[in-house]
Amino acid sequence: MQRKFVNYVLIAAVVTALLFTRNVFAQTDSIESISFKFDKETQCYTVGEEASITISVSGKDSLVQSGSLSVAFTNDGRDKVADSVVFDLSKDNPVTVKASIDFPGFLQVLAVAKSVDGAMNKSALAGAAFDPEKIEPGLPKPDDFDEFWSNGKAEIQKLPLDLQQKKLEELSDEEVDVFSVNFATVNDSRVYGYLCVPKKGNAPYPALVNVPGAGPGVGPEIRYAKQGFVVLNMNVFPYEVPLDSAKRQEMYDQYNKDLGMRYCYFNASDRNNYFFRAAYLGIDRAIDWLAEQDYVDVNRMGYYGTSQGGASALILGGLNDHFCAILSSVPALCDHGGLEKGRSSGWPRIVDFYHGDPKVLEASRYLDAVNFARNIDKASIEVTVGFIDGVCSPSSVYAAYNVIPSKNKIILHETGLGHQNGKQYSEAFVRLLERVKNNKL
């Protein structure tokens, strides 16, 4: 496959031996931590601007005075943008490097410290953004993308809903009724989930929808139902996810074994039969059904999710117009074509998994959260991005965020975090609940 690269510029690393008295620090080979300090607290720069990064290697109580520190620079964890630089910690600690890139994106800095004998080593990542709001998806939206999904929605509407709903008495109480639910979807398959309905207060209630991150799935989310929200948790698997966590993991492992691979890679070269197509068409149908229930206020529906669930926020938000507010945290399934620009795509990196198979690359465009995000034009949406996320790269998240047309959108930077939720997510979730409860954009 032909790879297309942009030009890179690395401003020569400048080692600044900061002035300090050596005898203040005790000699030690113990390596406990590596820290980064950027000259801009935001860690955001314009293209071509120098980012100055001071790197310190510490032992238990002081800076180390022996060993080595290597520093490498990549285009968001993928293509190398310069040769590694190696420093002698007996001469310089901390050190300052200055770097820049000449395209919108994320410069990732990998620092690796090693003891003299090589017995101890420690690594750490940092990231700097360069005009990230100008990052463009690696590949354009297919001309027939909207037609493809409209046809899928029409296909599923021809099938009986075949709702199967069962009250779970062991989980229900005087405050909440809990149900297992499942619906028919395309490809002779089904989607499964859990529904929690409040019993106190006045209906119709506000509603929340969630799809979990990658893994064995989730059970019902009762705590938000006790706060007055109808909650629909939908799993992506074509089987009922058990309530018991051990059985849940057992079924998940067996399912992947039966497929011969992890579910997210199954049939990835076939846009009509790729694993996620039936799942998302089915969940989209479940959302439509939820909106029709007399105990749900159709004007107060929201979505939240992380990773695979964050991707689902973009996908379902693009497929379904029932949401007034959306929270997408470190979304996966973004920018499968990012490798065409020398950067990392988001989980599950299906094109990499299939070693660049052009059929997979082409099919991936129809299950790229970037292209669904283009249709989110009414709901308010908040997106979180981790600057050192090695699972859902920050450039892939920005590639999706930048194409969202909604006027009520915001992206939240977790500059020191990888693939996880932090303070920004917690605060955004509180805002989501408030927006959904009061139907505020």
Q: 340-369 pLDDT, tens per residue? A: 898 999 999 999 999 999 999 999 999 999
Type of residue numbered 313: A
- Beta bridge partners, 57, equal 34
Model pLDDT for residues 184-200, shown as the tens digit of each residue? 999 999 999 999 999 99
Helices and strands: H and E segment counts in the chain: 10, 17
Q: How far apart are CA 276 and CA 211, in angstroms?
A: 12
**CATH 2.60.40.1930 intervals, the chain:** 22-134
In terms of Cα–Cα distance, which of 412, 426, 317, 395 is closest to 77? 395
Q: Which CATH superfamily is domain 22-134 in?
A: Macroglobulin (MG2) domain (2.60.40.1930)
Please give the class, per CATH, of domain 145-438.
alpha beta
**Is the peptide bond prior to 220 cis by the omega test (within 30 degrees of 0)?**
no
Task: Kindly indicate the confidence band of residue 157, based on its pLDDT and cuts at 50, 70 and 90.
Answer: very high
- CATH 3.40.50.1820 location in the chain: 145-438
Tokens of 251: 């079924």
The DSSP bridge partners found for residue 124 are: 111
DSSP states of 403-426: T---SSEEEEEETT-SSS--HHHH
pLDDT of 71-109, one tens digit each?
A: 999 999 988 888 889 999 999 999 999 999 999 999 999
Peptide linkage before 160 cis (omega within 30 of 0):
no
Q: Which of 328, 325, 329 is nearest to 440 (CA)?
A: 325
DSSP 63: B
User: Residue 380 pLDDT more than 90?
Assistant: yes
Name the CA dihedral angle for 413, 418, 422, 424, rounded to a multiple of 10 degrees.
Answer: 10
Q: Which of 41, 42, 53, 45 is nearest to 14 (CA)?
A: 53
- Whole-number Cα distances in Å, 392 to 304, 310, 369: 17, 10, 12
Stretch 95-124: mean pLDDT? 94
> What local confidence, expressed as pLDDT, does residue 120 receive?
87
Global pTM reads 0.92
Using CA atoms, how far apart are residues 78 and 393, in angstroms rounded to an integer? 10
Check if the beta carbon of residue 342 is closer than 8 Å to that of residue 288.
no
Summarised one tens digit per residue, pLDDT across range 271-293 is: 999 999 999 999 999 999 999 99
Contacts of 437 (CB under 8 A, 6+ apart): 206, 228, 229, 300
8 Å CB contact between 345 and 334? yes
Residue 29 is predicted with a pLDDT of 57
Average pLDDT score, the chain: 92
Confidence of residue 439 (pLDDT cuts 50, 70, 90): confident
